[in-house]
Structure 1
Amino acid sequence: MTEDTQQVQYKVGGMACSFCATSITKGLARMPGIINASVSLAHEEALIEFNPKILTDDQIRQTLLDLGYTIRDPRRVKAYEEQQKEIDWERRRLWFAGTMTALSLILMSVLWLHLVSLNIIRPFMTIVMPLFALITILGPGYYILKMAWHSLKRGILNQHVLLEFGAFSGFLGGILGLIGHAAHIPALEFPAPDFFAVATFITTYHILSGYASLLVRTKASRSVMKLLELQPAMATVIRNGLEQTVPIDDIAVGEIIRIRPGEAIPLDGRVIDGSSTVNESLVTGESLPVDKTVGTEVIGGSLNLTGSLMVLVTRVGEESFLQQIAHQIEEARAKKPGILQLVDRVLAVYVPGVLAAAALAILIWTLGDYMVSGHMDITRGIFAMLAVFVMGYPCALGMATPLAMIRGGGMAAEHGILIRGGEAFQVLKDIQWVALDKTGTLTEGRPSVTQVIPLEGTSEPYLLKIAAIAENPSEHPLSRAVVQYAEQEGLDIPTVDDFQSFPGKGLQATWEGRHLKVGSPRFLEDEGIKLDGHESQIKSLQAQGNTVVGVAENDTLLGFIAIADTIKPDALEAVNHLKKLGIKPIMLTGDNQYTARAVAQAVGINDFRAEILPSEKAHAVRELQQFGHRVMMVGDGINDAPALTQADVGVAIGAGTDIAMESADVIIMGDRLSAVPQAIMIGRNSYHKTVQNIALAFSFNGIGIPLAMTGLIGPSWAMLAMVMSVSTVLTNSFLGGKLASPPQHLISSVTSYPIKAKG
């Protein structure tokens, strides 16, 4: 964005499918002054760059409103409230339309089955059926009519336009049929009830599809709210020397807050008194806790573990870390590449094709007939045109993708994988890069003892026991890792006589008259314990991603304990499977270069980026996308959320944070990394199924439309064709035998490899 351009972001309501996003993009692109427009269907957002000298914000908003969409309140809580109101409204709209359809279906069944004398039922239906159709089209279906009109004015042919052509063709055909029967005009005696019923049915079906789509998107859009809920609503602030508990919105930059052990840190700030250990994994993604002393920064949303802190508030509101992450997630949503699903790509050609077929039908029976026989069959031309519109509404086509998704979702669930959206199914087959977070994704996400290294004259059990005795009173996660490892080795851990902790450095204790010291190599040196000759060994362990802890007894160095976030047992196998599928892995982590390199080498990843911020992870994904690559991101922490949202497919490890799972398209239950290649293969399988379903759906439309052009196929046959096509697609999706089984053996092969433990 340059100085001559301006950028606005809207929460857009009313989108039902990716065709809606395309319609908005086209509508905006045709406005002078629009430089770029990115529209996200999944998150109902539009990011628009424009020239303020040519165009105003109000003009852009009005165009969106004219197209039939709504603009939600930019305030997040208000937006969620509006979203819920929209769901309630759509539900009432569906119930209304559904009632009209159910009553129409009952009457049509009575007519078709001759349950009542035709002389009795037909006059009644002459009044009721057009009323049902008109109420459905102009009542719950009015918003579709409005969207179709504004799209057509801008030369945009989409599913709304096709629906209204079909609905009004049905209604018009019914009116002509009523006129023909009333005036005894044989040429116009169209089957009026059938035409009216079709107008009601297809409008209701469209409303149902929109409601289902809204439910899915609403559930997926709650991630920002989940994120902001991590921030405590209240905080303890020091004012006039007294402690007061106040809402965080009432706290200003420069005020002092107190955070006690076990409390979540409410706001970003700098420690001015006290020392503690803080778990920042929720916000940074890194598992090892961070020691906080005077002068160090703390992040709102992280958890204070051991000591009491006095913190000077440095950022509030939109400037805070969590708010920035929320903003980055929303921006990533808007900048995420649009995925035009297969059915929408087909509809882009299909809609103009149906309109052309209808025009051709009336031309054949007017001008064409005149050129051959010397007279024009206008009645037959009108009937043929109406029949094409009715037959052309792709009911089964609309179900092709959802049914394939349901089948694929069931297959995924059997493997502990939840695939949440249609776009994920469509793009999984095209994944070229998989970006993997380190902590909690490639690694276990918690510190564990990897090596116990005694010096000459000290045994490994004794070194471990002395370390565990000294560490036992501490709640520091590194201390707990040592104690748990000692307990697993069956060592007895007695109680110390005295204990003192030095945050960020180490600790000392007294046991049976022995002075024990455990901590960083620098801490031991500061305590006068020499490390001569062991510096290279320490650096070697650190280069492998370990945190090195020295252990001393009575100022004599006993040895070292290496602690690290260990690699998951199936990480190497999962990465190898991705490579076999032709997919390139890259690791993105906020951890240091040494640890990142060690983990990358251990799992076979050649490309990695270390010490990067959450926004930089999303930027790294975006860079790959700008080269035309389809990218999957796999992560588990809040710091991964912007990248998970930006990626073509975001995959959250189920053992991770709520915000990561809410931001993702695919959720892996548990922490199996081997499920990632499984998800890709299931996505490929589902895409094959979608192609089959679309081909089957079009076999009916492809035959029915040419037959309708003859003027011999009435709307009752169109409804029958709709039932048959839906039944065929349904059968293929769930009972299709060989036709329904693309590369299942490949999915099985992904799970058949033995899992070998890696250190």
Structure 2
Amino acid sequence: MGTAREQFAVGGMSCSFCAESIRKAYDRTDGVADADVSLAHEEVRVRYDDDRVSAVELKDALRDLGYTIRDPDKRERFREQQAELEAGKRRLALAGGASVATAALMLWMIVVVGRFESTSLPMDLAVLGLALVTMFGPGRYILEKAINSLRRGIFNQHVLLEAGAFAGLLGGFLGLTVFPHFPTVHFFAVSVFVTTYHVLSEYTSLLVRTRASRAVQDLLELRPDTARRIADDGTAEEVPVDDLEEGDRVRIKPGESVPVDGAVREGESAVDESVATGESVPEEKTPGDEVIGGSVNETGTLLVAVTATGDDAFLNRVASEIEAARATKPGIVRLADRVLRYFVPGVLAIAALSFLFWLVAPAVWSGGPFGTGPDVQRGAFAALAVLVLGYPCALGMATPLALIRGGGAAARRGVLLRSADAFQLLPDVDRVVFDKTGTITVGEPSIAEVASFDDDRTDTDVLATAATAEAFSEHPLVDAVLERADERGLEYDDPDAFDSVTGKGVRATVGGDAVLVGKPDWLASEGVDVSSAVDDLERLRERGLTVSGVARDGDLIGLLGIGDEIKDDAAATVRRLRDAGIAPVMITGDDERTARAVADEVGIDRVLADVLPDEKRTEIRRLQGAGHRVAMVGDGVNDAPALAQADVGIAIGAGTDIAIESADVVLVGERLGGVVDADEIGRESYRKTRQNLLAAFAFNGVGVAAATTGLVHPVFAMIAMVLSVTAVLANSFAGQVLSSEGLNAEFTVRETESADERTNG
């Protein structure tokens, strides 16, 4: 017993107020040490003393606030999300319909009847009915959250909204029963409109999160649902993967995904393990070697004994790593949040004091500037207008609008924004961690060098011989040989005879000559003298290349160096980052020699090689613990936990869906220069965000101050709230055309400069 940890998937969160409410609830729970809340991924991780509080009580605290706890099964959790989205859509349709009907009735009253302040009893009752239907129908969940928050002494946006909605109801009832000169319809209309606005904002938030956070589901779908289990008598049966146990044997045919983590018992094959390592060159597997669930069997048939199931399996461990990274990812302390923490209690207090003032002041100072007696209507106007003008609509729009503006400019430069925090964090990033394969490099094997060791044969002859000998081979590296031969326009025929030696190379007859293409060690074991190529072998391997030898009639005629080509703009991107004061780091699952060769070529000093996915995330956390803001750039499944952990995860758009879904920013295509472009646009977006927040705070401040006079009509308060959003909109998109032209021009210049650099070597 003692310190324990729990992680919950939470349904119903919509904004920073929700995250703050959950934190406050746990802060006030005896036995809780700390709680990390991820709004973007609706997850909460709690560290607590299980001698003082139980996991059940922690769950009850969330439910008491009106939030739901989703099923721990990841696939079931996504179904629950979809169900919540459908429920939100229904609520929005009902609330939206009530708002349209209310607006139509008010317009009819003003335009047709020609009245603004008063109307008939049927009109009053009709709008009252719409208000009650909206608040206690689609808006009932907001009321429940507000009540539960108040029970715990938490003042949040739900409390503020319900205060405004019920103030509208109270004002309307006073008009119906006590003060016939009250604008009854307008009071009731405020209840309808503010409730509908909140339903709309929460539905929009849920829609964005549901569509943008499918990484774990996509990851789990890499693994097949069934496996071919082999019984002791040799018979095979299809069984669900979840039914497999350690020690079971499964057969995997060429082209199939490996369903489980296991060890090879029979067979030899090349297996694409990029799902785990990110490396493009397949691993040769023989009996005794380990295979990873989700990888792809390329050539031969394998019999694999299961070594890990359930949560211990690789893909499930990666999924857990992604979830844990999201929950513990350092959050940004938004400028708006610093004020909003005190905003709701402040607005509620001002509304109450305004109402009391207009009841008390005219009586105390009778005959003075405040009138001759308690002014209930003016007090009601003041309280309701304060609540309406204090509702943080413009504040809530300030950051998203600035990010939309920046996102549009970024999209024209091939940078797509997926996280609201990303552009605000990018200006503070001082470390950029790059994956190697598919990020700095292209991600596909290609011929980097052809070396000839026969005076009578050129490198073209060596390549043509290898292409002919391997024309029938299914090994993934053969594609690199054939593609280079096609690029050079070489003609190669089918071999006269062909035999593949799994894990070693091929034997073929070409033009009557015996040809071997494969590992130099295998060629040596077949009697080929490779001593003359020792220096070149070492040189090619130092460059991080995979080397194949080509022998004809027992003589070595050449070597093929196969590697992953470095992207054209990789070195220029690293240089631009250094010029901006940002230190680049490379982290890869590849071996040290290959990693160092690539890093040296692009100008990166710090390299971490032979790193597993969880170790990548650990390195990101270590840098964050040292006080650095870290961006991670990657493209593979193995990068997903690190992308989720980084302050800003940047995925290559040509990479895997899981990497993209785990990231905050996506670079369209394979251009690395977008990393620096995103940083520059992020600085501009953050500047606009600060301007928007200043305008919103000023508008709310002036509006609330004016509302306390009791001279602001409730409908005019609603109009003023709309105007505040308009002001934020105008600032967000002012100069958008000019800005876009400037960005596009700069992008064109940089692309030209990069092309010139490549041309000049």
TM range (shorter): over 0.9
Give the residue type in structure 2 aligned to 1:487: D
Q: 2:221 aligned with 1:223, yes or no? A: no
Give the residue type in structure 1 aligned to 2:297: N
Give the residue type in structure 2 aligned to 1:753: E
Q: In the alignment, what sits opposite 1:585?
A: 584
Deviation of 1:294 (Å): 1.2
Q: 2:10 aligned with 1:17, yes or no? A: no
Q: In the alignment, what sits opposite 1:731?
A: 730
Correspondent of 1:190 among 162, 182, 201? 182
Give the residue type in structure 2 aligned to 1:273: E
The alignment partner of 1:422 has SS state of coil
**Measured at CA, do residues 371 and 737 of structure 1 come closer, stay the same or move farther in structure 2, by a change above 3 Å?**
farther
**Measured at CA, do residues 156 and 41 of structure 1 come closer, stay the same or move farther in structure 2, by a change above 3 Å?**
same
Q: In the alignment, what sits opposite 2:135?
A: 137
Q: Please tell me whether the aligned partners of residues 433 and 629 of structure 1 are also in contact (alpha carbons under 8 angstroms).
A: yes
Correspondent of 1:151 among 145, 149, 152? 149
Give the residue type in structure 2 aligned to 1:177: G
Q: Please tell me whether the aligned partners of residues 342 and 426 of structure 1 are also in contact (alpha carbons under 8 angstroms).
A: no
Q: Please tell me whether the aligned partners of residues 685 and 743 of structure 1 are also in contact (alpha carbons under 8 angstroms).
A: no
Give the residue type in structure 1 aligned to 2:76: K
Q: Please tell me whether the aligned partners of residues 407 and 416 of structure 2 are also in contact (alpha carbons under 8 angstroms).
A: yes
Deviation of 1:660 (Å): 1.4
Q: Please tell me whether the aligned partners of residues 577 and 750 of structure 1 are also in contact (alpha carbons under 8 angstroms).
A: no
Distance 1:536 1:97 in 2: 77
Q: How does 1:69-468 map to 2 (within 5 A)?
A: 69-115=67-113, 121-182=119-180, 189-239=181-231, 240-362=233-355, 364-365=357-358, 377=374, 379=376, 380-455=378-453, 457=455, 458-468=457-467
Q: In the alignment, what sits opposite 2:601?
A: 602
The alignment partner of 2:228 has SS state of strand
Q: Please tell me whether the aligned partners of residues 261 and 293 of structure 2 are also in contact (alpha carbons under 8 angstroms).
A: yes
Q: In the alignment, what sits opposite 1:688?
A: 687
Give the residue type in structure 2 aligned to 1:672: R
Distance 1:742 1:702 in 2: 36
**Measured at CA, do residues 179 and 390 of structure 1 come closer, stay the same or move farther in structure 2, by a change above 3 Å?**
farther
Give the residue type in structure 2 aligned to 1:754: S
Correspondent of 1:50 among 48, 51, 56? 48
Q: In the alignment, what sits opposite 1:633?
A: 632
**Measured at CA, do residues 750 and 93 of structure 1 come closer, stay the same or move farther in structure 2, by a change above 3 Å?**
farther
The alignment partner of 1:387 has SS state of helix
Q: Please tell me whether the aligned partners of residues 5 and 49 of structure 1 are also in contact (alpha carbons under 8 angstroms).
A: yes
1:113-153 residue CA offsets vs partner (Å, 9 max, x unmatched) = 35466899432222122222232222222222222233233
Deviation of 1:383 (Å): 3.5
173-182 or 703-712: bigger deviation: 173-182
Distance 2:363 2:118 in 1: 41
Q: Please tell me whether the aligned partners of residues 261 and 292 of structure 2 are also in contact (alpha carbons under 8 angstroms).
A: yes
1:388-416 residue CA offsets vs partner (Å, 9 max, x unmatched) = 11221132332223333333333233233
Deviation of 1:12 (Å): 0.3
Deviation of 1:512 (Å): 2.7
Q: How does 1:356-755 map to 2 (within 5 A)?
A: 356-362=349-355, 364-365=357-358, 377=374, 379=376, 380-455=378-453, 457=455, 458-532=457-531, 534-736=533-735, 744=743, 751=751, 753-755=753-755
The alignment partner of 2:138 has SS state of coil
Deviation of 1:340 (Å): 4.3
Distance 1:596 1:359 in 2: 66
Correspondent of 2:62 among 45, 61, 64? 64
The alignment partner of 2:227 has SS state of strand
Q: Please tell me whether the aligned partners of residues 674 and 751 of structure 1 are also in contact (alpha carbons under 8 angstroms).
A: no
338-347 or 569-578: bigger deviation: 338-347
Note the aligned Cα RMSD (angstroms). Answer: 2.6
Q: Please tell me whether the aligned partners of residues 118 and 183 of structure 2 are also in contact (alpha carbons under 8 angstroms).
A: no
Give the residue type in structure 1 aligned to 2:238: T
Q: Please tell me whether the aligned partners of residues 400 and 693 of structure 1 are also in contact (alpha carbons under 8 angstroms).
A: yes
1:141-178 residue CA offsets vs partner (Å, 9 max, x unmatched) = 22222222332333333222222222222222222333
**Measured at CA, do residues 604 and 81 of structure 1 come closer, stay the same or move farther in structure 2, by a change above 3 Å?**
same
Q: Please tell me whether the aligned partners of residues 681 and 746 of structure 1 are also in contact (alpha carbons under 8 angstroms).
A: no
Distance 1:405 1:13 in 2: 25
Report percent identity of matched pairs.
Answer: 50
Deviation of 1:564 (Å): 0.7
The alignment partner of 2:223 has SS state of coil
Distance 2:750 2:629 in 1: 21
- Aligned residue-pair number: 751
Deviation of 1:248 (Å): 1.9
**Measured at CA, do residues 628 and 352 of structure 1 come closer, stay the same or move farther in structure 2, by a change above 3 Å?**
farther
1:493-538 residue CA offsets vs partner (Å, 9 max, x unmatched) = 1222222222222222222332222222222222233333543432
The alignment partner of 1:125 has SS state of helix
Give the residue type in structure 2 aligned to 1:199: S
TM-score, with length taken from structure 1: 0.93
Q: Please list every run of 5 or more consecutive structure 2 residues that lacks an aligned counterpart in the other structure.
A: none
**Measured at CA, do residues 497 and 749 of structure 1 come closer, stay the same or move farther in structure 2, by a change above 3 Å?**
closer
Q: Please tell me whether the aligned partners of residues 276 and 309 of structure 1 are also in contact (alpha carbons under 8 angstroms).
A: yes
Distance 2:409 2:297 in 1: 42
The alignment partner of 2:30 has SS state of coil
1:266-315 residue CA offsets vs partner (Å, 9 max, x unmatched) = 11111111111111123321100111111111111111111111111222
Deviation of 1:673 (Å): 1.3
Q: How does 1:25-40 map to 2 (within 5 A)?
A: 25-40=23-38
Q: Please tell me whether the aligned partners of residues 517 and 551 of structure 1 are also in contact (alpha carbons under 8 angstroms).
A: yes
Deviation of 1:481 (Å): 1.0
Deviation of 1:253 (Å): 1.8
Give the residue type in structure 2 aligned to 1:281: S
The alignment partner of 2:472 has SS state of coil
Q: In the alignment, what sits opposite 1:185?
A: none
Distance 2:752 2:340 in 1: 40
Q: In the alignment, what sits opposite 1:186?
A: none
Q: Please tell me whether the aligned partners of residues 254 and 313 of structure 1 are also in contact (alpha carbons under 8 angstroms).
A: yes
Q: Please list every run of 5 or more consecutive structure 1 residues that lacks an aligned counterpart in the other structure.
A: 183-188
Give the residue type in structure 2 aligned to 1:607: R
Distance 1:43 1:694 in 2: 25
Distance 1:474 1:130 in 2: 78
**Measured at CA, do residues 133 and 580 of structure 1 come closer, stay the same or move farther in structure 2, by a change above 3 Å?**
farther
Deviation of 1:589 (Å): 0.7
Give the residue type in structure 1 aligned to 2:204: A
Distance 1:350 1:117 in 2: 36
1:55-107 residue CA offsets vs partner (Å, 9 max, x unmatched) = 01111011001111100111112211111111111111111111111111111
Deviation of 1:46 (Å): 1.0
120-129 or 165-174: bigger deviation: 120-129
The alignment partner of 2:753 has SS state of coil
The alignment partner of 1:477 has SS state of coil
Deviation of 1:362 (Å): 4.4
Give the residue type in structure 1 aligned to 2:62: L
**Measured at CA, do residues 757 and 549 of structure 1 come closer, stay the same or move farther in structure 2, by a change above 3 Å?**
farther
**Measured at CA, do residues 40 and 137 of structure 1 come closer, stay the same or move farther in structure 2, by a change above 3 Å?**
same
TM-score, with length taken from structure 2: 0.93
